[in-house]
Amino acid sequence: AIAIITGIPFLKFLTGLGAISAVIILVFKDTILGFVASIQVSINDMVRIGDWVTFEKFGADGDVIEITLATVKVQNFDKTITTIPT
């Protein structure tokens, strides 16, 4: 409908829409993946506040104290706080 209203040939409109979509996905790739991961963590109830987690890559080994949209905060056994992306 937009292609007809603007007078752009449908094939050119579809090609342009695909190109713009590809650029947006490349630019916001990490943001989109983080958002989807946080939804999966919430829906599947993978981690709860108070759970003990060990994540050597980020130096986390302790209790989960906070879960946000983008991060999980862990209080290590030595009382330091480590933030892990979802």
Q: 72 near 64, Cβ under 8 Å?
A: yes
pLDDT tens-place string over residues 9-41: 989 989 999 999 999 999 999 888 888 888 888
pLDDT tens-place string over residues 37-70: 888 887 888 888 999 999 899 889 999 999 887 7
Helix (H) or strand (E) holding 75: strand 71-76
pTM: 0.61
The whole-angstrom separation of Cα 78 and Cα 66 is 17
Q: 69 near 35, Cβ under 8 Å?
A: yes
Confidence of residue 2 (pLDDT cuts 50, 70, 90): confident
